[in-house]
Amino acid sequence: MPQFRSAELAHPLGEPARAVPGLVEQALSGRATLLLLVAGEAADATAAVRALVLPTLQSRRLDEADFIEVAAMAWEREQPGAVLERLGLDADDPMLGLAGQRQRVLVVTEADDADQVSLQALSSAVHRLGDSPVLVVIAGAMEPGENGPLSELARAHRGATCHLDTLDGAGVQALAAGIGTTLDEAVARRLARHTDGSAAAVLELLAEHDPETWKAPDSPIPATSSALRRARTLLADDEPVRRLVQACATIGRWAVVEEVAALAELDDPLPVLDRAVDLGVLRVRRASLRLLVGFRSRMLRTAAYESMGVSRQRDLHIRAAEVLGDPGARLRQRAMASGSPDAGLADELDQWAARCAGEGAWERAGEAWLAASRMSVSEPEAARRLVSCLDAKVSNGNLFDVQALIPELESTAASPLREAVLGYHQLMLGHRDEAEVLLQRAWQQATDCDRATKSAIAHRLALHNLVDWNSAELVTWAERAIELADGAVPSVPSGLEAHTMLGLGLGGEGRAADAVQAYTKVTGSVRAGAQGQRAMMGQGWLHLALDRVPLAAHELEMAAPISAWRGSTRVSLWANGWLAHARLALGDLRAAQAAVDRAVPLLEQTGQNVALPLVHWAAAQIAALRGESARAEHHVSKAASVRTDYQGMLVGATLARAQVSIAEGDYAGAVRAFEPMLSRERNTGIDEPGFWPWQDFYAIALVATGEVQQADEFLRPHEELAAARQHRSMMARLASARGRVLFSQGEVTAGREAFDRALGLISDLPLQLLRTRIHLAHGQALRRVGKRRDAEAELHNARRGYVAMGATGFVDKCDRELKAGTRSRDADSLTELTPQEQAVVDLVVQGMTNREVAASLFISVKTVQYHLTRVYARLGVRSRAELTALRVGG
């Protein structure tokens, strides 16, 4: 096993693992400890011993005699005391060999095979040893919910049990760094996927191979030696099973059982399949009425493939090219069988890739163009196909593959399409200025290019302006891409993709009817495939902006899955992001969270940044509504984690910060959050009602920080625009903000009318969250001016709405508002405090600052100070501490 440089590897193996080095130190400092390390595979638990325990022990310089490690053996499981005997301990009283002042470390790996008597004896001994410098490490496999010997130990040693996580890409990087190996993020992610996050498998591969050879996405990561040995052992004795497994490994994906049987030359594959499943090699699942066959793990598939040898591999690839039904799969099999450049096959792959691209199936197009590039005889053809490959991979959203291939791309001759691909990549990373330079350069260099090339570049510029939310430029470039594509030979997908964006640009210009008509046209003509997904997502986004929220939620739900459309991860991310916001608007926090939970892993898997602020903005809102402050702050940080000048990304990050600040009563923080967005020249589309609802939040923050006149002036042009568009939810938002302004100006009657108007505007719209927010704001304003009974009615309406959503954080806020408006019946009400004074005292004794109290009660900090001064004088106390002591004593 490799030597680890430090014990700072806990985080990759899961949060509980952080405590392991401390527990080791605790034990060796004189407090006997049994440390239980469990994982899904015993080998991973053993790897954790190497990564987490041994570095700390090495720093202690233990004598060899004081350290004993044994691996439990399955055939000794039924022999009571077998492990104790191998540790050199007395089976009747293990303490005899452990008591004393010498540091002792005992390690048992593969402990899921240990005899129960030994495990119980070791546990009892540790409990009885007390203040002795003894560490017993038990490492083995245990599944969640399993009830066995290790689960008994886990219950007996809860404080020293570590359930190890599987590794993600970051975890693989950290684990590799611990043995002095630096991995690119893309390689680390591929390695995590290939090993199913197994720390043991990662370490074994790094010990056996040079990871530099895995950088290209089409360079396969091999099987570990142990996996290869296992595959050979499992397949040694049953020839039909071996043929079936080799056929599956050749196809390399979930395969239809009939195709596998044909390739394996089996007339009746099902009995053979049953045996392969029983061996733990294959598994089956059903897709509609078809039976699909696949491997238990990617590692096992690779091991089965490697175990058959290159001659057998070639023969099976040749046969698979005849057997498989999918034309793309047949071409792939021919390429795998070839092993050397083939101009004719490269041409066929090129044509197939172009066909896939025409359908918007960018993942398949990218793989086919990469294979075509590798099979090309001519260097210019190889370079052209590599450019097309990267363009397709960016379109699909697989940026880690793209990053790995960028050095190859940059070594090719410059061309407008190459510049466009590099700009497209920067766009997807969220780097506006770099994308602008590269895409504009590509357009300027494309003067003499064909219409298809110009259309593709125009489409990228349209997408660039969509992310920047520059509606006028989006419409200009989309129409240009459509016009150029109409005359292109052969036909190109850029025109159709531009059609799926055009409606959003029209909507952003305030041309709602034209936008709806544009989407009606495109969704009517494109109903399936990746282009259908794009059209459905865009239409759902538009309908959400136009207050057709239930319809929008339905369309976005349909557009979100990738597999159903064979679509794009970028489109799926946008669909899930806007779906989360649609579900939030409807008050369905659980469904909103589900959409976020689908999107976040996809963001991490693909490296895309464009939709990242959108997704984490929704997640931050959900957490804030639930009162989960730490989680909300995490998502706020993630939303702002991308270096970007794209307006559509900035507004998402800004709203995440501002809305969480407002939820926590930090109105000054909310005003600060808006400053970067407002201090720069912004595209007018950002102010168009419905698409990015930020205006009311800024006005709310201004009012709460005392900038009432500024809020008044800010609201006026937005109120006029919303009225001109007759956009009801935006009119309601702004009317609610206007109500706050009027109450703060002392115009109570006008303020009440504004809040009533806000509710009336959305009375027949299912906008539960907005309606509930308006009730809360109205109740707060009424309570502040002493209209307690009316305030209670509004606050109870708000509370009911938040309860129905599961927004526990705002339920608590409503409860505090209600308490602030009624007389306390506590014992300290005898002091004759007013309701407002009582509410201030209640929050002060909870440890809140004056600013936090002011925010919670919707009053100014000066008012809090005034109430506290009066309370101190009336109760005869001089400090918060005395006030708290008096309250507790009362």
Alpha-carbon gap, residue 185 to 178, rounded angstroms: 16
Q: What is the mean pLDDT of residues 636-660?
A: 94
From 700, 790, 794, select the one nearest 738 (Cα to Cα): 700
The pLDDT tens digits of the residues spanning 804-828 come to 999 999 999 999 888 876 543 333 4
Higher pLDDT, 164 or 566: 164
3-state secondary structure of 487: coil
User: Which residues fall within 8 angstroms of residue 21, CB to CB, at 6 or more apart?
Assistant: 7, 10, 52, 55, 56
Show the tokens assigned to 647. 């307006």
CATH architecture of 613-818: Alpha Horseshoe (1.25)
Percent of the chain with pLDDT over 90: 59
pLDDT above 80 for 5: no
Alpha-carbon gap, residue 49 to 47, rounded angstroms: 5
Query: What angle (nearest 5°) sits at the alpha carbon of residue 521, between those of residues 646 and 571?
Result: 35
The pLDDT tens digits of the residues spanning 110-155 come to 999 999 999 999 999 888 888 888 899 999 988 776 677 788 888 8
Q: How much is the pLDDT for 391?
A: 92
Q: How much is the pLDDT for 817?
A: 86
User: Which residues fall within 8 angstroms of residue 23, CB to CB, at 6 or more apart?
Assistant: 33, 35, 160
The pLDDT tens digits of the residues spanning 733-742 come to 999 999 999 9
Alpha-carbon gap, residue 484 to 21, rounded angstroms: 64
Asked: is 414-526 a CATH 1.10.730.10 domain? The reply is no
The pLDDT tens digits of the residues spanning 656-691 come to 999 999 999 899 999 999 998 888 777 778 999 999
Alpha-carbon gap, residue 580 to 572, rounded angstroms: 12
For the ranges 49-53, 340-344, 792-796, which has the lowest average pLDDT? 49-53
How confident is residue 2, by pLDDT bands cut at 50, 70 and 90?
very low
From 390, 394, 370, select the one nearest 570 (Cα to Cα): 394
Sheet containing 104-109: order of strands? 67-71, 104-109, 134-141, 33-39, 161-163
Q: What is the mean pLDDT of residues 175-180?
A: 83
End-to-end CA distance of the chain: 65
Q: What is the mean pLDDT of the chain?
A: 88
Secondary structure tally for the chain: helices H, strands E: 45, 8
The pLDDT tens digits of the residues spanning 685-735 come to 899 999 999 999 999 999 998 899 999 999 999 999 999 999 999 999 999
Show the tokens assigned to 644. 């970007």
User: Which residues fall within 8 angstroms of residue 541, CB to CB, at 6 or more apart?
Assistant: 504, 552, 556, 574, 578
The pLDDT tens digits of the residues spanning 304-324 come to 999 999 999 999 999 999 999
Q: Could you tell me the residue ranges of all domains in the chain?
A: 15-165, 225-339, 341-411, 414-526, 530-604, 613-818, 835-889
Alpha-carbon gap, residue 35 to 335, rounded angstroms: 52
Show the tokens assigned to 803. 């309860």
Which DSSP letter does residue 295 get? E
- Judge if pTM exceeds 0.85: no
Give the domain 530-604 fold.
Answer: 1.25.40
Alpha-carbon gap, residue 670 to 624, rounded angstroms: 14
Considering only the top CATH level, what class is 15-165? alpha beta
How confident is residue 564, by pLDDT bands cut at 50, 70 and 90?
low
Radius of gyration of the chain (CA): 33
Percent of the chain with pLDDT over 70: 94
Name the one residue in this structure whose structure tokens are 């005849």.
Answer: 322
Alpha-carbon gap, residue 688 to 472, rounded angstroms: 12
Alpha-carbon gap, residue 397 to 387, rounded angstroms: 15
Q: Tell me, yes or no, if the two domains 530-604 and 613-818 fold the same way.
A: yes
The pLDDT tens digits of the residues spanning 193-251 come to 999 888 889 999 999 999 998 988 889 999 999 999 999 999 998 999 999 999 999 99
- CA-to-CA dists, residue 649 to 5, 240, 508, 646, angstroms: 40, 56, 16, 5
Q: How much is the pLDDT for 17?
A: 66
pLDDT above 70 for 760: yes
pLDDT above 70 for 15: no
CATH architecture of 835-889: Orthogonal Bundle (1.10)
DSSP string, 726-791: T-HHHHHHHHHHHHHHHHHTT-HHHHHHHHHHHHHHTTTS--HHHHHHHHHHHHHHHHHTT-HHHH
Give the domain 225-339 fold.
Answer: Arc Repressor Mutant, subunit A (1.10.10)
Q: What is the mean pLDDT of residues 452-476?
A: 95
